[in-house]
Structure 1
Amino acid sequence: MIHVEQLSKSFDDLRRGSIVALDSVSFDVQAGEIFGLLGPNGAGKTTCLRMLSTVLQPSAGSATVAGYDVVTQAQDVRTHIGFMSCNTGIYDRMTAWEMVEYFGRLYDIEENKLQERLDRIFTTLQMQDIKDLLGSKMSTGMKQKVSIARTIIHDPPVLIFDEPTSGLDVLVARAVLKTIEALREEGKCIIFSTHIMREVEKLCDRVAVIYKGKILAIGSIPELEEQYHESDMEELFFSLIQEHEDQLAMKAQ
């Protein structure tokens, strides 16, 4: 469902010159799989996801989503993905129902089908009690539910979650993760970006460790632990980063 080949992104900086945010990244994600992008803040996770969602154009390399090229078939890509970030961006003067309905209409969903889908999603996400609540009155957890609902309203085959639990309390974060698990069971192709080790261990079928724009390792957690002879994922993560830093230091000498 997602194919990424040598994807790179550079930005021009007046003081520092060209900054490489993503450096020749390659991976594939299948339907019914949660693929984790694990890395610290600034590792390149969001840059990668923004290119996959057509917000940014690659400097080099290529990517297809649901069979469509992210550059030459951007509109088709947008139709087949749902993108959710930690920034909920909920409108204060719209109710939960109005907001999700509005996004459904942006995707030209036929009215009868839209109302049926709204009712199903609000029931599944246990949102019926907040359907008439204004965004200005919502708690953080309520806003996050609305954000999930509008992400999936058009029933896209590919879902992209960029740090979706950032800033949430434990109970709300748990509910978000369970929702993402349920979406995998529906056969969705899911990319899940995070810097939280526990989320990767609990949720992801495979994971790519990304740091300073490069993928340092990729595979299932058991595969990575066997490959690097490390039974603790957190220690493996820091070991990979330290090894990369040592290599950079040697090149600089």
Structure 2
Amino acid sequence: MISVENLTKTFSLTTRSNVHRTQKLDSRQQDGVFNALTGVSFHCQRGEVLGLLGPNGAGKTTTLRILSSALKPDSGQVRINDIDVIKSPMAAKQKIGFLSGKTGLYGRLTARENIEFFARLHGVSDDYLGNEALQIYENLAISEFLDRRVEHLSTGMQQKVSIARAVIHKPDVLVLDEPTTGLDIMATETILEFIQLMKEQGTAVIFSTHHLDEVGMLADRVTVINNGVSAFSDSMEAFRQLSPDRNLRRSFMHVLSQEVTHVASV
């Protein structure tokens, strides 16, 4: 299980460009700093999918970067089973697969070379790469493209390769930041099916998205971050019940309109 408790994170506003980027979020800007997160909490059990929602600038990507140990919070705690992600980031990296829009691939390497390079950084054996990894490639429908240079692949195919790279070391937790953004219907369907497969295999999956239909299809739990705070974090059923007709869009808008947060205990 992954548990996130009361994360906070501020950034210094040292340039005019930083101020410009946050001028629409004045309530979170004070004394030369921007309060990106002021209290984010949620949890996701083994074999669960958590859909992470929120308007642009709410703090979703900052939260996910902390989960991946790419960013250190000012306070709060992230634990994967008995591992403290903040205190033991190297140990945590072995347990986490992470994909964001900025998780780049090496264009001049083939898809296979990209995946195997990162696999070896995680200590994955050659035997595994030559056998069990083939199932990952098949599930993501990338087998026939493995020996093509990444720079010659479509956006959707590159995203599939990135996901294969993120899971090649068999992580306990898979963190995906808007994995289907900009993809066509077929590529999106493959990725959503792969998330479902990861869930069935016992992986805890956290994915952020602006597509409520994806959350409705896959998520067991929902967390809504608004203005740097967990405005809602509970089961999908509890989220649906926020709307009289169980409409996810209306539930989402209801959360954003409320001043009181709803965060279920573990």
TM-score, normalised to structure 1, is 0.91
Residue pair 1:66, 1:157 contacting (<8 A) in 2 also? no
* Other-structure match for 1:250: none
Task: State how far apart, in whole Å, the 1-side matches of 2:48 and 2:36 are.
Answer: 26
Superposed displacement of residue 110, structure 1: 2.1
Superposed displacement of residue 88, structure 1: 5.1
Mapping 1:1-253, distance limit 5 Å: 1-14=1-14, 17-87=32-102, 89-227=104-242, 229=244, 231-244=246-259
Residue pair 2:7, 2:77 contacting (<8 A) in 1 also? yes
Which runs of 5 or more residues in structure 1 are unaligned?
248-253
Q: Percent of aligned positions with the same letter in both sequences? A: 40
After superposing the two structures, state which structure 1 stretch, 118-127 or 198-207, moved more: 118-127
Aligned residues: 245
Query: What is the SS of the residue equivalent to 2:8?
Result: strand
Superposed displacement of residue 39, structure 1: 0.9
Query: What is the SS of the residue equivalent to 1:215?
Result: strand
Residue pair 2:65, 2:71 contacting (<8 A) in 1 also? yes
After superposing the two structures, state which structure 1 stretch, 8-17 or 55-64, moved more: 8-17
Residue pair 2:12, 2:34 contacting (<8 A) in 1 also? yes
- Tell me how large the CA RMSD over aligned residues is: 1.7
Residue identity matched to 1:110? S
TM-score, normalised to structure 2, is 0.87
Task: State how far apart, in whole Å, the 2-side matches of 1:179 and 1:110 are.
Answer: 23
Residue pair 1:37, 1:194 contacting (<8 A) in 2 also? yes
After superposing the two structures, state which structure 1 stretch, 58-67 or 180-189, moved more: 58-67
Task: State how far apart, in whole Å, the 2-side matches of 1:208 and 1:31 are.
Answer: 17
Residue pair 2:49, 2:219 contacting (<8 A) in 1 also? yes
Query: What is the SS of the residue equivalent to 1:150?
Result: helix
Which runs of 5 or more residues in structure 2 are unaligned?
20-28, 261-266
Superposed displacement of residue 119, structure 1: 2.2
Residue identity matched to 2:9? K
Superposed displacement of residue 114, structure 1: 2.5
